[in-house]
Amino acid sequence: MEEVQRHSVHTLIFRSLKRTHDMFVSNQGALPEIDDKLEKIRKSIKARDSYSLVFDRVARAESNRKCVEIANNGRKNSLSNPEKVLYITNGQDNPINVNTNTAIMAADTINKNNFDIPSSTAMVAMSGIRPSVNSTSNVQLIPKKAPTIPKPAWHAPWKLARVISGHLGWVRCIAVEPQNEWFATGAGDRVIKIWDLASGKLKLSLTGHVSTVRGLAVSTKHPYLFSCGEDRQVKCWDLEYNKVIRHYHGHLSAVYSMALHPTIDVLATSGRDSTARIWDMRTKANIHTLTGHTNTVASVVAQAVNPQIITGSHDSTIRLWDLAAGKSVCTLTNHKKSVRSIVLHPTLYMFASASPDNIKQWRCPEGNFIQNISGHNAIVNCMAVNADGVLVSGGDNGTMFFWDWRTGYNFQRFQAPLQPGSMDSEAGIFAMAFDQSGSRLITAEADKTIKIYKEDEEASEETHPVNWRPEILKRRKF
With a pLDDT cut of 90, the percent of the chain lying above it is 62
How much is the pLDDT for 44? 86
CATH of the domain at 281: 2.130.10.10
Using 50, 70 and 90 to split pLDDT, how confident is the model at 22? confident
Q: Is the pLDDT higher at 191 or at 1?
A: 191
Average pLDDT over the chain reads 84
On whether both 372 and 438 belong to a single domain, the answer is yes
pLDDT at 349 over 90: yes
- Judge contact between 380 and 372, C-beta under 8 A: no
Spatial neighbors of 265 by CB under 8 A, at least 6 apart, are 221, 280, 281, 282
C-alpha angle 167/169/173, rounded to 5°?
75
Residue 258 lies in a domain: yes
Residue 82 lies in a domain: no
How much is the pLDDT for 142? 60
Using 50, 70 and 90 to split pLDDT, how confident is the model at 134? very low
Residue 386 lies in a domain: yes
On whether both 242 and 295 belong to a single domain, the answer is yes
Using 50, 70 and 90 to split pLDDT, how confident is the model at 120? very low
Interatomic CA distance for residues 346 and 433, integer angstroms:
12
Q: What strand order describes the sheet that includes 297-302?
A: 297-302, 309-313, 318-322, 327-332
Interatomic CA distance for residues 212 and 191, integer angstroms:
8
Residue 103 lies in a domain: no
Q: What is the mean pLDDT of residues 164-192?
A: 96
On whether both 346 and 451 belong to a single domain, the answer is yes
Give bridge partners of residue 382 from the DSSP assignment.
394
Interatomic CA distance for residues 128 and 133, integer angstroms:
16
Using 50, 70 and 90 to split pLDDT, how confident is the model at 246? very high
Is-cis flag, bond preceding 356, omega within 30?
no
Q: What is the mean pLDDT of residues 225-236?
A: 97
How much is the pLDDT for 146? 55
Lowest mean pLDDT among 18-22, 79-83, 249-253, 320-324: 79-83
On whether both 317 and 399 belong to a single domain, the answer is no
pLDDT at 99 over 70: no
Using 50, 70 and 90 to split pLDDT, how confident is the model at 81? low
Q: Is the pLDDT higher at 249 or at 425?
A: 249
On whether both 386 and 448 belong to a single domain, the answer is yes
Residue 175 lies in a domain: no
* pTM > 0.75: yes or no: no
How much is the pLDDT for 211? 97
How much is the pLDDT for 3? 63
Using 50, 70 and 90 to split pLDDT, how confident is the model at 424? confident
Q: Is the pLDDT higher at 418 or at 278?
A: 278
Residue 149 lies in a domain: no
With a pLDDT cut of 70, the percent of the chain lying above it is 80
Domain span at residue 432 reads 158-166+341-455
Interatomic CA distance for residues 112 and 107, integer angstroms:
9
Residue 110 lies in a domain: no
On whether both 316 and 223 belong to a single domain, the answer is yes
Residue where a domain terminates, one of 290, 308, 333: 333
Residue where a domain terminates, one of 271, 300, 333: 333
SS (H, E, C) the chain: CCCCCCCCHHHHHHHHHHHHHHHHHHHHCCCCCCCHHHHHHHHHHHHHHHHHHHHHHHHHHHHHHHHHHHHHHHHHHHHHCCCCEEEEECCCCCEEEEEHHHHHHHHHHHHHCCECCCHHHCCCCCCCCCECCCHHHCCCCCCCCCCCCCCCCCCCCEEEEEEEECCCCCEEEEEECCCCCEEEEEECCCEEEEEECCCCCEEEEEECCCCCEEEEEECCCCCEEEEEECCCCEEEEECCCCEEEEECCCCCCCEEEEEECCCCCEEEEEECCCEEEEEECCCCCEEEEEECCCCCEEEEEECCCCCCEEEEECCCCEEEEECCCCEEEEEECCCCCCCCEEEECCCCCEEEEECCCCEEEEECCCCEEEEEECCCCCCEEEEEECCCCEEEEEECCCEEEEEECCCCCEEEEEECCCCCCCCHHHCCEEEEEECCCCCEEEEEECCCEEEEEEECCCCCCCCCCCCCCCCCCCCCCC
Residue 162 lies in a domain: yes
On whether both 296 and 349 belong to a single domain, the answer is no
On whether both 414 and 307 belong to a single domain, the answer is no
Spatial neighbors of 62 by CB under 8 A, at least 6 apart, are none
How much is the pLDDT for 101? 46
On whether both 328 and 390 belong to a single domain, the answer is no
How much is the pLDDT for 141? 57
The count of other CB atoms within 10 Å of the CB of residue 128 is: 10
On whether both 326 and 363 belong to a single domain, the answer is no
Interatomic CA distance for residues 56 and 37, integer angstroms:
24
Q: How many domains does the chain have?
A: 2
How much is the pLDDT for 108? 47
Lowest mean pLDDT among 129-138, 249-258, 351-360, 409-418: 129-138
How much is the pLDDT for 148? 65
Task: Tell me the C-alpha to C-alpha distance, in Å, between residue 188 and each of 207, 430, 454.
Answer: 12, 12, 26
- pLDDT tens per residue, range 146-169: 556 788 999 999 999 999 999 999
How much is the pLDDT for 122? 42
How much is the pLDDT for 279? 97
On whether both 291 and 321 belong to a single domain, the answer is yes
pLDDT at 100 over 50: no
Lowest mean pLDDT among 6-10, 83-87, 180-184: 83-87
How much is the pLDDT for 80? 55
pLDDT at 468 over 60: yes
On whether both 232 and 291 belong to a single domain, the answer is yes
Residue where a domain terminates, one of 280, 302, 333: 333
